[in-house]
Every structure is written in structure tokens, then in C-alpha cells.
Structure 1
């Protein structure tokens, strides 16, 4: 698997309402401001997606680069959550085998627009969060 030079970057679907809420959820709890965010619709996000084999036109996962490695699907969500203050307990969920976790993740990902909706244009964060967005 290729490496990525930037660390603690979360790749997300910027037109997905659920994904944008995920970004706001993480940003609010990330008091150390460790994570940065990039929409897959940005140049930087599209390059990151291509590097790791994610279809930027039809993304089926968010991803996080941590420790120079990329984590996708349920591994991405659990990695991010387990690194947030007060959420380290989430790491016990890594004990659930990925073949059981990822199908649930994929089911939600495939239906995210239908369930949660979709923005017409890419999510625009407030000024504080915008400073943590890489485009």
C-alpha cells in the first residue's frame, strides 16, 4: 500500500450530508485539532483518493491517513474515534472482525444520499473549521 506524506487527514464526500456531519462531529471533539479534512471533490482530496484506489466520482468510503497509512471503511471510523479525547474505548470494536464491520459500513455508505440527503454543492465549513480543510 502506498504511503501519504500528510498525517491525520480525513477524506470525506463533501456533498454528502452525513459525511459533512461526521466532519463537524470530529472537529468539535478534536480539541487538540489533530485532524485536518479534505473533501474528495477538491484537487487534494481527489489525488489522495486516486492514490488509494477510491473512485472520486462514486466514493464508497471515507478514509483517514494516520501514521502514514490509510484506513478505510470501518477501520477509518474506528481509528478516528479512538483518537478523540474520551473516545479511546471505541478501540475495543477493532476486536469485531472486519468482515462483520465493513458490510454494515458499506450498507450505510451505499444508501447515504437516500437516507441523509445530499448537498447541491460541496459543504462549506465555518471559519474555524475552514482553517483545517485542505483543498
Structure 2
């Protein structure tokens, strides 16, 4: 399960890419602003005012945020995406510094929607409300 900022253009584009490369059909999605997203965030006791990040949630196992979540998602793609795994050689603090810089500027650089994206009927099953 990937929780993402549903009004962020960068985040929505990233979700579209994940869907495209998710050949194993491993991921479901929920906008952080959605009812399901809020329920999961509350269950995990995550303060989204302090953690501006995607959240990779594996029920009954764990959850990851920021660069760790992104690297784990990309690891699932295979192919040339395996090159992104070089990111693991960098300390998490360095990776998250870069992640946080992009996250902080994402609305200025990529824009923001007025409301969360609405998946097409073909993709509806991949999204929780």
C-alpha cells in the first residue's frame, strides 16, 4: 500500500509511473487526504505535519517513509530500475535530506491540484477511497 499526497502533481505522476511499472500488481494506493489514508495514518500514529512523505505500508509487517519507501517501491520494478538500488549505499540521513528538499519544493516546482486525483474506471480497483 502506498499512501501519497493526492493533490501534489509530482506525487500523482509518481503514482502513474508506479502503476505502469508494477508488473506484479503488488501495490494499492490511497491518498493521504482520503478516508482510508487517514485511517491508516491514524492507525500508524503518523503526524503528517512533521513527516511530509510517501508512506509504504505493509499491513502487519512495517511501514517506511521518504527515501527508504521510494527505494523499496522501485526495487519491485526490476529491469533497468535496479540501478536505483545504488541509493542504498548512501546513508539514510543523506538520502532523506535530498528527499526532503524535493518534498519541500514540490508544489512550487510541479504544482498542486485543487482536489485528489480520481482514478479511471480501469484503475479504480488499485485505489482505496
TM-score by length of 2: 0.89
Structure 1 residues 97 and 58, CA, compared in 2 at 3 Å: closer, same or farther?
closer
Aligned to 1:98: 92
Larger helix fraction of residues: 2
* Gap runs ≥5 in structure 1: 1-8
Partner of 2:75: 82
Q: Which residue of 1 aligns with 2:55?
A: 63
After TM superposition, the runs of 4+ consecutive aligned structure 1 residues lying more than 2 A away are: 87-92
State the 1:59 CA deviation: 5.7
Secondary structure, aligned partner of 1:127: coil
Q: Which runs of 5+ in 2 are unaligned?
A: none
Q: Tell me if structure 2 keeps the 8 A contact 1:15–1:121.
A: yes
Matched residue of 1:131: which SS? Answer: helix
Q: Report whether the alignment pairs 1:26 with 2:18.
A: yes
The answer on whether the counterparts of 1:30 and 1:85 sit within 8 Å (CA) in structure 2 is no
**Alpha-carbon RMSD:** 1.7
Report the alpha carbon displacement of residue 60 of structure 1 after superposing the two structures with TM: 0.7
Q: Deviations over 1:2-57 (max 9, x none)?
A: xxxxxxx00001010100000000000112211000001111101222324132x6
With 57-66 and 125-134 compared, the bigger mean Cα shift is at 57-66
- State the partner residue of 2:39: 47
- 1:73 maps to 2:105: no
